[in-house]
Structure 1
């Protein structure tokens, strides 16, 4: 018997991989299968951002005189319908997981004490364990975070209606995504971040993201002293003494591995379970994958980690490789990035061509951006990025090409779909031409 603790992307994919190989697998999930990706993070952002984009596209076309009005959202109805669809998707994942041969146990806690495995208070025999207990929202040490009206991505579904004034605390992708969504919905949104907003992004991509956040007030290099109110949020007090009125506050201040139920394993200072490249923990026979092992906190990485763990449990030596795994962010356009994980090379950027989802934006003088990073000696594609409709789909394949060591010369033989918003293939061909001229 193999016990998998957690039914998110890492645990579910690992469990299915094991069962399909003929292993007896028991998956223990406290809540619902699908994890935070389905119920609180990725799919929630997808759902809300679909509506935000609809409103923004309608606003663009109204400004052009094509439409006579812009839709107004019903936030309570959004949450109602969102929950219904998440339940439907969860039932689909449950059926898929069981069809693979996995026994699923809901409403129970799986926990470890070294190599001893418990389901609630009952100790069970296990030949191997895959711990995939995920993460939780990090709560900053700021007075007032317990006030009514303060939310994280996990508690946001409890917000009864759109706030008139929303303050988002944080400077990463989650802060940017939710700020964009609620600004499109009609809230007055301010972001407060101790450092720079999206500071890890390439400067060209960051400037494009800031364009998408043009209606949001952004306060960088600013600390929050406290969240004020008597029982309920009234304002956010900043380090310079300024006070921002707020009806709601969203804490988008990062993630913390959820490893409290995993005792006897070696962990890092933040609670992340320490694993090697085969997903093995410090305890023999115990593997870990997904958010519980710490960054990069990406669903594609978690899925692959779960499969790598499963392969090693089955005795097939496999190592985890993060090369080319794409990252994504959803604002007005999709933002997606993939890299070989190496520095150096030269970078080319160019405006993206107009296509599905961006044609009418040409009237405003902007239809997105594409970017490649290339090794000047070998011509190998070291990185790619795009901020266009459909960028996420594009970077899935480009990430694989980067991992395989594809050179920009090879793009000469690719015939891409048209119409599309992709400018990466053209840029890669242009880079190849530059390198050929240099060699001459």
Structure 2
């Protein structure tokens, strides 16, 4: 790591804006402010990039790429196209993944510095209710952004710290693949890790305290369960205790009032995230540590803003970046309010299971199988080309979409933008697509437009 920049200048030098935390929210806010001419200091204890780069999105992408490769290789072998399937070298995978992460870290650091941001690495910063303090030195500022992120949710149960129990922050210390892996959690994080490790050859069990993927679209949930067909998903099953016995973990599971013992080689806690705000004082926080903000991302203290995971769900990198922009623009004197009316999301399994909805209860669904194209051609024999779905109001406006395909995330992102700007299915009449493509959403929109026009004319 380079020499901390605060070694080259007095900390007491006035800083116009101080940002605590160099994850997606804090970094994007710092670049926006510096690009507008502000004197910006970004305080980061570890390395820039936050949860997304080091423990979340990027590691999941790295592992998922390999898992998909193994699945595709298995499909080719089943069809007789190839006669062998590669085996995974898990330590090598982790080692090479970390090298790529270091490369990305250096790119983000350079990009941030080139924008004019001063970065202070190496010391834990804190906010004392008036200013940011690094070590024993205070950083005077006219505005502060608190972007300290989140950490894995670790349930308070006996034995949870036992060797062999991992979180996404410690998973990279596994020296070999476990034969039996139990994943604790029932949300997106649990689903993605279940897919990855099942494709790596582990026997995976998921413990979901309530219904598995209970908050997502019904078609997305069914599709996820189909992709996880080799995974044992136990719903309404809570983890009561953990005990290490020799080389094995013994998990006590409470299911419908009955306690049973589940034996495994390792357990992964993938039960979501909690805000990391213990170094923040003087601002209003909820009992779970979330920093309370208004729709300008301002806390109860004038000139003090917060953004990203420290403000609570939905714990999505694009939302964190967006919040950082909202906070920065308000510091710059622009009256910008956050708007969560159309937020796209995706679950990365064999395909990208992407979705977006405005919550309408009056829209009607249209669903079709996904078209064959890049990444789905060889799935036709198994009738497994994904799906496309749109939710359409009577006037043609689009209230939701689902895309299960190799490029579902991209499709959902653009469709969410069109939804926010009130595009309707009728606006797709002149749409010309790229072919071949696995996007079935545009075709559904055209079809819906035709149906609505016929109804109007009849």
Which interval holds the TM-score relative to the shorter structure? over 0.9
Give, in whole Å, the separation in 2 of the partners of 1:174 and 1:136. Answer: 13
What is the CA RMSD across the aligned residues, in angstroms? Answer: 1.1
1:327 and 2:342 are equivalent in the alignment: no
The one-character-per-residue Cα deviations of 1:84-137 (angstroms, maximum 9, x if unpaired) are 000000000000000000001111222112122211221121110011000011
2:336 aligned counterpart, secondary structure: coil
Q: Is the contact made by 2:217 and 2:355 (CA closer than 8 Å) also made in structure 1?
A: no
Out of 326, 334, 342, the residue aligned to residue 316 of structure 1 is 334
In structure 1, runs of 5+ residues without a counterpart are none
CA distance in 2, matches of 1:169, 1:139: 10
Looking at structure 1, the residues matched to 175 and 341 of structure 2 have their Cα atoms a distance apart, in angstroms, of 42
Query: In the TM superposition, what whole-angstrom CA distance separates every residue of 1:42-76 from its partner, at most 9, and x where no partner exists?
Result: 00000000000000001011000001111110000
Partner of 2:354: 336
Q: Which of 223, 227, 249 matches 1:234?
A: 249
> Is contact 1:148-1:233 (8 Å) kept?
no
2:416 alignment partner in structure 1: 399
- 1:233 to partner: Cα distance: 4.6
The reply on whether 1:423 has 2:440 as its aligned counterpart is: yes
Q: Does 1:214 align with 2:232?
A: no
The 1-side partners of 2:119 and 2:137 are apart by 16
**Structure-1 separation of matches of 2:364 and 2:296:** 33
Which region of structure 1 is more displaced relative to structure 2, 20-29 or 386-395? Answer: 386-395
Alignment counterpart, residue 345 of structure 1, candidates 350, 356, 363: 363
- CA deviation after TM superposition for structure 1 residue 182, in Å: 0.4
Give how far 1:231 is off.
7.3
Deviation at 1:429, TM superposition (A): 1.2
What residue is the counterpart of 1:129 in the other structure?
144
Please give the secondary structure, in 1, of the residue aligned with 2:334: coil
Question: 1:295 corresponds to which residue?
Answer: 313
Equivalences, count: 439
Correspondence 1:30-179 to 2 at 5 A: 30-179=45-194
Give the Cα–Cα distance (whole angstroms) in 2 for the partners of residues 147 and 241 of structure 1: 20
Distance in structure 1 (CA, Å) of the matches to 2:295 and 2:66: 40
1:341 to partner: Cα distance: 4.5
Mapped to 2, the partners of 1:146 and 1:35 lie a distance apart of: 24
* Residue 270 (1) aligns with residue 285 (2): no
393, 409, 428: which one aligns with 1:411: 428
Q: Distance in 1 between matches of 2:149 and 2:133?
A: 18
Q: Work out which of the residue numbers 389, 393, 406 in structure 2 matches 1:389.
A: 406
CA distance in 1, matches of 2:28, 2:78: 46
Q: Is the 8 A contact 2:20 2:43 kept in 1?
A: yes
TM-score, normalisation: structure 2 = 0.94
How far apart, in 1, do the equivalents of 2:413 and 2:247 lie? 43
Aligned to 1:354: 372
User: In structure 1, what is the Cα distance between the partners aligned to 2:252 and 2:404?
Assistant: 34
Partner of residue 213, structure 2: 198
Equivalent pair of 1:336/1:392 in contact (CA under 8 Å): yes
Contact 2:20 2:132 in 1 (8 A): no
Contact 1:115-1:285 at 8 Å conserved across structures: no
Instruction: Determine the C-alpha separation between the residues in 2 that align with 1:232 and 1:29.
Output: 38
How many Å separate the matches in 1 of 2:218 and 2:298? Answer: 37
